[in-house]
Structure 1
Amino acid sequence: MATRPFTAGTRASQELLDVTFIDHMSPAATAGKYTIEVEHTLMEGTIPVDSSDPLPHATEEFEIRAPQFMLDGATVQAVYPARGADGDFGLVLPHITLTRAYLPWEREPKWSRAERRAPWLALMLFRAGELPDDPEGLALTTERTVEELLAEDDETVLGPVLTGLDEPARAGNCRTIDVPAPVFTAVAPHKQELYYLAHVRDVDEPKLMADGEILIKGTFSVVTANRFPRGAGDYAVHLVSLEGFDKHLDGELPPRVEHVRLVSLWSWSFRNDPAAAFDAPGILANLVAPGNTDAENLALRMPRPANAPGSPSAAEAYALERLRLGYVPVPHRPITGEHTYAWYRGPFTPLTAQEIPALDTSSAHTTADFALVYDRTYGVFDVSYAAAWTLGRTVALADPSYGKEVTRARRELANTAVRMMAVANDPVRSAVDVSSADGTRFGLSALARLAANRGGRTLTDALGAPQLPQEAVPGPVPLARLSRADARASLDDDSRAAALLSVASHRAGALADRLTELRTLRSVPFSSLMPDFRMLPEESLRLFRVDPVWLDALLAGARDVAVHTSLDQRCDRSLRTATRSGDRSGYPVAGLLMRSDLVSAWPDMIVVAKKGTRELTEIRREPVASDILLCLYDDVPDHVLIREPSEGIHFGIDTDSAGREVIGLRQLRAGQDPPLGATLPGEYFPTGSDTVFSAYLRPPQEGGIADVLRLEGDDGLIKPLAQAHSLSDLHPAQLAVQLVNAPLEQLLMPGSTREGGR
């Protein structure tokens, strides 16, 4: 049996981080040997009864075993920094996550107390060159027997003092490291500090981390190091047992000891490279900085030419206005053959685009000429919508399955219409042969009625019946041939329209899905969305509206595939109805483009767009290039929040706007705003000119730099950090919450909605 009490559990609740931190797990009994004694006593009421015969008495010994010298690989769920990682980890405290939630407390060291359960494990970080058997910092170990680990016959080597080990246990193998005495004294956690360096993590929902380890559902124990990898180079991390070192964890070693021999239960290495520093705060600040002075600076448009005249002529003012509206000049060759230029703008506009009443996308077309817009004043074409129609047609034809399906649908519609028009002037045949709207094909309803009531026998009876006299036989009724216009008009009859819609609906499913996907501008080349990269310079952010007329033209081009005849155009109404064309629901309304190294560094960055308090629906979010992110929304946001992926779990400290190494404080009180575990905006520790590195590190080794946290005592980190939260002390879970690296974020408020025109 096991119990699971905890003295202080702290839950960190953010949009993408939902983890419960617990101080420790308390097993019902720790590892060791135990004796059970069972006695029987006869009682009369409350008085023992003497018996001449001895009552049964039983004694049973048993042992609870737990890992001590070896650790199964399945026990390790994750480490951070990752094995073999290469990056800037100067502000990170390495940690290891164990699947066995009770492991750090299954053995009870002598310095542990009931109210402050200390682990018997510690995570120790070593620079390359500090361990004599691992000079390159590759996390190498030396295999020795437990007998050799104890080093009882060598005064220069201090091993653990362990009792109760039998001969088989002493003969077993383990992995060991020899730590030079000065290094051990400088790096090893003190007794009271160990309490803070292990906690339990309870994860309710699995999350894929963009940075840090991958969180999976379950309860895990976490052991954190007390040392920062501040200098450049390779580092080795060892999960060691401190059992048996209770007399030597306050910085004092016997005078002749040169090395401390530790058992290494798990080890890995990584490289710290400050040159690989990624200035995410600076990049985020620079992205939004142009909008701080004028939101128009973040609009997606060509920049105003540096040599633009201060007092432009009418033609120059016209060109500058076109650039302001998001257009770019492109080469153009009209049907007359001369070489000239035209204006082009993709679907992304800096201002709200006006409707174009003359642009009819409600009927089918065979060329893009209907979508050309001509400026009579300056004699220049706007080819934006014609290009969109052509692009939609090209994208559709590039999909063989779509082209095949739409061609088949149009041929079936045309054939059905031809048969209907052929019998339109015969009221008897047209009444019989029009197919129903439930999907029955043309003519099958008549056959079905013919076969009803066992039609074969009815026909035999009819043939055997007496013939009518000649004068009783009805004569042929001459039918006038309908004109082409009247035949086409007959298709407007409700029953025939329903029949055409039935045929179209039979083929519309796959077509509608493809058109719905095209609404999100997938398969559209990025150069058609943003025709000039000067609109989106390196390390920039741009906001835009989406022109619904451009999307109408794009979808019209895809729908108009396989329209060859006037009859195809007439039957196109049924196909449009079946594919729900003309409905702008689902169109993106606005979006943003980001071109930055952040896109590849944070592939899962958080971009939240809101209008008022409503979070907008993200219609599409996709990196369209290694450094370009596209987001499309269902409405125009009034503010956008860009945040580092916050679900990455690793521990360490942050930097504030002044570059100081500080701890970004998090809420430790339930029922407050912000909620428990959330970042307290703008609140850092320590304040003033002090930093964590200047005030809360142990003195460095001779010739080295300070890099080991000082946790205990009046000058340690714990007491003043607790006071920053108006507390007298911190629990391990609370410290873990404080050391979770805070996500970076930038709030972008574009300002008032701008309206514009053509």
Structure 2
Amino acid sequence: MGPDLQTSDPRYLVKLHEHHRQNPLTAEAFNDEEALAPDEQRFYSVYGPSLTAGQRTITATQDVVDPEGNTFTLSNSQTFKVVAPRFNLPPSDVHSFYPPSGGTVSLNMLPHIVFKDPHLPWERQMGASTPPKDGSERARIPWLALWVFRPDELVSPGTGIFAGKALSSTRATRLKVSDVIRAGTSDICTPYKHDEASPDEEDSLADFICVNRHLFQALCQSYKSDGSPTGDTDLTSYGYLAHVRKVGSEALKAAAASVTDDCFSVVIANRTGSSQNQDSSSLGAVAHLVSLEGIDPSFKPSSDTELVTICSLFSWTFSYTLQDDEAEFANALKAIGTPTSGLEWLRPSEDKYAGLLSAQEADRQRVGKRIRDGYSLTRYRTISGEETIALQRGVLIPTIPSANTALNKPIHLFSTQLQILDTEIGLVDNSYASAWNLGKANALADEKFLSSFVRLRTTVYKRALLAAKAEVMGSQDGAPAALKRLISATDSLLKLSDAKKDNKLKWSSSVSPERDDGLSIWGEKMRAEFANAVNTEINKLGQGLSAELYDGQNNPSSSDWAAVVAWVYDALFLANVPWYHLFMEPSSLPPNSIRFFYVDPTWLNAYLDGALSIGNHVEGDQDSVRAAIKLQLQTFFATKNTKSGYQPQVPISGFLLRSPLVADFEDLGIQAPRKTKDSRATILRRVKLAPDILLVLFDRALNNVEFPQGIEICQPPHEQCFLAYNGKIEDGKIEMAYRNITTKSASPDNVPMKPFDTRVPKPSETILNSQYGIVLAENLAKDVYDFLTNRPGATFSETAPSSALLALHLSYTLAKLSLTLPPLDPDHLVGDFKITMLAVQDLHGLGSQYKKREKDTRDNLQRLLHDATPRRSENTQGSIYPSPRPPYWSVISRTVPDDREELGSDSGTQTPASPLPSEPQYVLQVYALGYKLFNDPSGAETRVPHDAKGPLNLVFGIQRRQQAVDTPYALRRMAIHIPSETNGSVNSFLLGYTGPGAYMANNIRYIPGISCPVVANSEAAEVIVNLTARSKGNITTSPKSCLTMFNRELTFVLRQVSLNVLPQTLNAVFTIKMSEYYRDSPIPITSTAQVKLVETKDL
């Protein structure tokens, strides 16, 4: 693997694949043996280091002959220390372990631990327990062993150095090593001794466990062939429980393994969950990786010793189960699916939309289709503050996206330009707007990308501006034209010096959209030349040093451009996209499931457009630099790499896997072969979104043409499980099930690892110590060796049993799940990704009712400001220009709304026939925001504080009456008449109104407008708040959204209200009239509400 590749890189698999293609000699650098297939592995009994830990002396000698022929020898010695772990093991050395922490396995499963360092089990030299035997080098005793205990088997004496020390969750105690070595007593002993060469190690803290002497002796003694113990301390059996396995590089690439080497060392436990001491009501277990250092024939705990203190280097807890003896991996695969179950798509559970799809109403069916297509209903607050609901979907969608068509706009100024309004159900789709905002936020948060992108923008802008000016100047008529421009500039400066300084001038514009053809960037000629110059400059920066297009592998001419390309490429691999922007609905991915999806290219386009929108400080909405950058990026993704021969791979599909397997197996195998002769990477990215959720991305459509061999999920070879026995144990007999472990080439008659049909019963005590559940590894290895060498037609020619042989015998058969993909559908093809196309797709066949929400562009915004000419205001001090309100505030009119304007049908379709109500459908209550709500049981009166200091925000709570039936009445407008005078009349509730306006509390289907009609004495007699249906023309543009059955509440807030707080109005009751206008009838349905002004204490 290249030195610059990191597994945290989103494109790690793609880069690793390309590195192996360009450096094939380094793919199998371990040795010169034949390369391994992804599902193959090679076992080694021992892979010890050249030098074991400890103090070593190297001596160099040289025979020297002087000119006289005299010979003498020169020598020099150097003492050095080989360092290796002793009492503490770095957590990074552990690659994985099984069972997982907190997991559950069957009683006959042997726990194991996998190390990244293939030398680790043999880095420390162990003393010989017995004289060397034939083949003993193939079962070299490691200094590590994996012991399994019941929690009640590990206790603390509570005295001496253990006094006041608490036990950890794995029943270990943290102690100083030197204290343990010196604290040998008659009750407690330890095999560790003081080492003069390693004083620092003994000053450190380590974890220790206290093992019962009888259990310790059972674990550390040899056994005869009949299973009876010898009573002698002998660790020979542990030499058969450690081995090394080498896996194919392709398997590690497909698993995105966190290690660069393809060799792993494995240590297997020698104790099962079944023993005579096992309590069926307590199946908890603790696994400890212990140090065997110092345990030799000379170490014999006396009969007075109760506990033996052993150092624990790594530990975890798990549980056994009595249910069945099948491996957990196979069970978990079955829970995910079967080869014939078909593909399940990433969408909410069916119970969330099935009822809507079967409904009679068209709008309910439409909502059901949206939910089926991956949408969720989310809370949404409009720019004016109203809270409502909206549709939203993440980048992972359950449908094939439509191919991008011609450009709508190369850039977008605001995220709201990407909102989509479904006028049939009155809901806004915020999917692409949220993607735009997320892209911008992530770009601003990435300091490295931000600085590179702004520098790139600045460089392109400055160079292009100079080039455009030079081009325009060269095309002018010399000195006369230059003099004309100089005179024009002088006149403009004189006008500016006479202008009155006023910050409020920024809200009005007297500049005509028509520009002259000077050197301003907004000039017609200058604009065209600048756009051409921008494209030219970005093309130059997008080249490599060798004058060819920068492709990510050659040297760039601009480091800033390379940084931008890398960030954008990572973004297409969903880097830094939060999981809740991947899919919105948690029920889309239930436990023990696999869900397939496509990547929405329009979502990615919006995300990138938001990210590339930063740094536009000059051009405003004419962001030609951003448009040019996107075009150059499109060239990058559309151009074939000269070395690889194919275009950059971009994810377009994938799947999410939620299963305990993701947490249990660090390098879960995923295989998805390509078509023949297709050398591109098979998997683009795999990353854990959560401990049990795995995301896998492909650059292919999900069909059997792109996946000719389907998708296979398998157990990683280097994390294979081990079973103590496959047969049954009954009446003191164990059925031995053997495999065809062969040393000869495979053939139809010699299939490696194929189980033999014959099962040989043998006394169980020869293989398994029933008292403690200890597997007699040495006896088992000899039994397997004898069977393979003595059977008729033997194909096994090893000279002695070994740890590799026993590991093969104990290995559980690799479980796999193969998924077949559906056939290719020619009517639904996936197009190539195009970064420059931002057309919003009609993915659901909604037709004209699925509209892109249009926002103000530069032209109509200029026109809006140009029309808002300055007007004089008597109330403005220091300036003659009033400050305008934001566009979403209510506009106060001085005229009464004319119903005839609303009844016109030129701007919309006719209202469908609907009945008119005979009585009011809504009830009104008024109260002050922030004050206690008066609860009148009859509901006839509401109260507002008379003694409030300053203006109030009044809430007009309008709710549908409880007795109203669900008849589809079309509410065109609602008017609330509030008595108001400025002459201090006791009959007025308000003292006029000059506040900022009103806003809807939670129903955005209606817009509040305020009118203060003027009477004869030029004083307002009432304030009228009109709630009008949100539409561009007649109400009938969206008739269903105005039905009373869909508008159960029309509450609004009238801000900054000044009440008529005269002494005479205290405890006075005022009547507020509410008029409801339905369909095309000019006659309203009228009701009233009573409001009383009281002191705050009476609320």
- Which one of the candidate residues 188, 205, 208 is aligned to 2:222? 188
Give the match for residue 652 of structure 2: 589
Give the match for residue 99 of structure 1: 122
Secondary structure in structure 2 of the residue aligned to 1:426: helix
Bigger relative contact order, structure 1 or 2 (CA pairs below 8 A, ≥6 apart): 1
Alignment of 1:561 with 2:614, yes or no, is: yes
Give the match for residue 59 of structure 1: none
Q: How far apart in 2 are the matches of 1:407 and 1:118?
A: 63
Shift of 1:517: 1.9
Distance 1:565 1:631, change over 3 A: same
Q: How far apart in 1 are the matches of 2:594 and 2:218?
A: 50
Q: How far apart in 2 are the matches of 1:653 and 1:424?
A: 83
Q: How far apart in 2 are the matches of 1:368 and 1:131?
A: 62
Q: Are 2:379 and 2:387, in contact at CA under 8 Å, matched by a contact in 1? A: yes
Distance 1:386 1:275, change over 3 A: same
Give the match for residue 524 of structure 1: 577
Shift of 1:534: 1.5
Secondary structure in structure 2 of the residue aligned to 1:630: strand
Q: How far apart in 1 are the matches of 2:363 and 2:564?
A: 45
Aligned amino acid, residue 319 of structure 2: P
Distance 1:357 1:86, change over 3 A: closer
Aligned amino acid, residue 532 of structure 1: E
Q: Are 1:332 and 1:340, in contact at CA under 8 Å, matched by a contact in 2? A: yes
Q: Are 1:665 and 1:685, in contact at CA under 8 Å, matched by a contact in 2? A: yes
Q: Are 1:588 and 1:634, in contact at CA under 8 Å, matched by a contact in 2? A: yes
Shift of 1:188: 3.0
Instruction: Map residues 664-703 of structure 1 onto 2, 5 A cutoff.
Output: 665=739, 668-672=742-746, 680=753, 684=755, 698=767
Secondary structure in structure 1 of the residue aligned to 2:337: helix
Shift of 1:360: 3.1
Alignment of 1:498 with 2:551, yes or no, is: no
Q: How far apart in 1 are the matches of 2:369 and 2:634?
A: 37
Shift of 1:524: 1.8
Give the match for residue 21 of structure 1: 44
Shift of 1:371: 3.0
Give the match for residue 412 of structure 2: 365
Shift of 1:672: 2.7
Alignment of 1:274 with 2:319, yes or no, is: yes
The superposition leaves residues 608-647 of structure 1 with CA deviations (integer Å, 9 ceiling, x where unpaired) of: 3334567854333222233322222222454322233432
Comparing 303-312 with 555-564, which one deviates more in the overlay? 303-312
Aligned amino acid, residue 413 of structure 2: T
Q: How far apart in 2 are the matches of 1:118 and 1:624?
A: 41
Distance 1:329 1:664, change over 3 A: farther
RMSD: 6.2
Give the match for residue 619 of structure 1: 684
Give the match for residue 108 of structure 1: 131
Secondary structure in structure 1 of the residue aligned to 2:567: helix
Give the match for residue 390 of structure 1: 437
Q: Are 1:131 and 1:180, in contact at CA under 8 Å, matched by a contact in 2? A: no
Q: How far apart in 2 are the matches of 1:531 and 1:20?
A: 46
Comparing 637-646 with 200-209, which one deviates more in the overlay? 200-209
Q: How far apart in 2 are the matches of 1:428 and 1:226?
A: 89
Q: How far apart in 1 are the matches of 2:172 and 2:286?
A: 7
Give the match for residue 671 of structure 2: 608
Give the match for residue 147 of structure 1: none
Give the match for residue 329 of structure 1: 377
Instruction: Map residues 84-483 of structure 1 onto 2, 5 A cutoff.
Output: 90=107, 91-92=109-110, 98-99=121-122, 108=131, 112=133, 188-190=222-224, 198=239, 201=243, 227-228=271-272, 230=274, 231=278, 273-275=318-320, 279-288=328-337, 292-295=340-343, 297-305=344-352, 307-308=355-356, 310=358, 312-332=360-380, 341-357=389-405, 360=408, 363-375=410-422, 380-427=427-474
Q: Are 1:539 and 1:596, in contact at CA under 8 Å, matched by a contact in 2? A: yes
Q: Are 1:589 and 1:635, in contact at CA under 8 Å, matched by a contact in 2? A: yes
Secondary structure in structure 2 of the residue aligned to 1:343: strand
Q: Are 2:534 and 2:625, in contact at CA under 8 Å, matched by a contact in 1? A: no
Aligned amino acid, residue 303 of structure 1: E
Q: How far apart in 2 are the matches of 1:276 and 1:587?
A: 45
The superposition leaves residues 356-401 of structure 1 with CA deviations (integer Å, 9 ceiling, x where unpaired) of: 536635x222123443444455555443333322322222223344
Q: How far apart in 2 are the matches of 1:737 and 1:11?
A: 20
Comparing 322-331 with 223-232, which one deviates more in the overlay? 223-232
Q: Are 1:239 and 1:266, in contact at CA under 8 Å, matched by a contact in 2? A: no
Give the match for residue 552 of structure 1: 605
Q: How far apart in 1 are the matches of 2:142 and 2:442?
A: 61
Q: How far apart in 2 are the matches of 1:124 and 1:416?
A: 67
Shift of 1:518: 1.4
Q: How far apart in 2 are the matches of 1:514 and 1:300?
A: 29
Secondary structure in structure 1 of the residue aligned to 2:471: coil
Distance 1:734 1:401, change over 3 A: closer
Q: How far apart in 1 are the matches of 2:692 and 2:88?
A: 38
Gaps of 5+ in 2: 1-32, 49-83, 114-118, 159-166, 183-210, 228-234, 279-283, 479-515, 543-556, 639-647, 728-733, 829-842, 845-1099
Shift of 1:530: 0.7
Give the match for residue 572 of structure 1: 626
Q: How far apart in 2 are the matches of 1:620 and 1:94?
A: 29
TM-score scaled by structure 2? 0.43
Secondary structure in structure 1 of the residue aligned to 2:377: strand
Q: Are 1:179 and 1:260, in contact at CA under 8 Å, matched by a contact in 2? A: no
Gaps of 5+ in 1: 1-9, 26-70, 145-176, 246-257, 432-478
Q: Are 1:644 and 1:743, in contact at CA under 8 Å, matched by a contact in 2? A: yes
Shift of 1:695: 5.8
Distance 1:346 1:125, change over 3 A: closer
Q: How far apart in 2 are the matches of 1:714 and 1:409?
A: 67
Q: Are 1:181 and 1:259, in contact at CA under 8 Å, matched by a contact in 2? A: no
- Which one of the candidate residues 519, 526, 532 is aligned to 1:487? 526
Q: How far apart in 2 are the matches of 1:11 and 1:106?
A: 37
Shift of 1:528: 1.4
Give the match for residue 159 of structure 1: none
Q: How far apart in 2 are the matches of 1:590 and 1:517?
A: 16
Shift of 1:588: 0.7
Aligned amino acid, residue 622 of structure 1: V
Q: How far apart in 2 are the matches of 1:724 and 1:425?
A: 95
- Pairs aligned (count): 594
Alignment of 1:737 with 2:821, yes or no, is: no
Q: Are 1:178 and 1:259, in contact at CA under 8 Å, matched by a contact in 2? A: no
The superposition leaves residues 210-242 of structure 1 with CA deviations (integer Å, 9 ceiling, x where unpaired) of: 9xx99989999x997765453466789768988
Shift of 1:319: 2.6
Aligned amino acid, residue 323 of structure 1: I
Distance 1:570 1:198, change over 3 A: closer
Q: Are 2:744 and 2:796, in contact at CA under 8 Å, matched by a contact in 1? A: no
The superposition leaves residues 654-686 of structure 1 with CA deviations (integer Å, 9 ceiling, x where unpaired) of: 779xxx9997957535543899998x5xx5577
Q: Are 1:711 and 1:717, in contact at CA under 8 Å, matched by a contact in 2? A: no
The superposition leaves residues 410-459 of structure 1 with CA deviations (integer Å, 9 ceiling, x where unpaired) of: 4444444444444434328999xxxxxxxxxxxxxxxxxxxxxxxxxxxx
Aligned amino acid, residue 424 of structure 1: E
Aligned amino acid, residue 597 of structure 1: P
**How many percent identity over aligned positions?**
19
Q: Are 1:303 and 1:535, in contact at CA under 8 Å, matched by a contact in 2? A: no
Shift of 1:285: 1.9
Secondary structure in structure 2 of the residue aligned to 1:315: helix
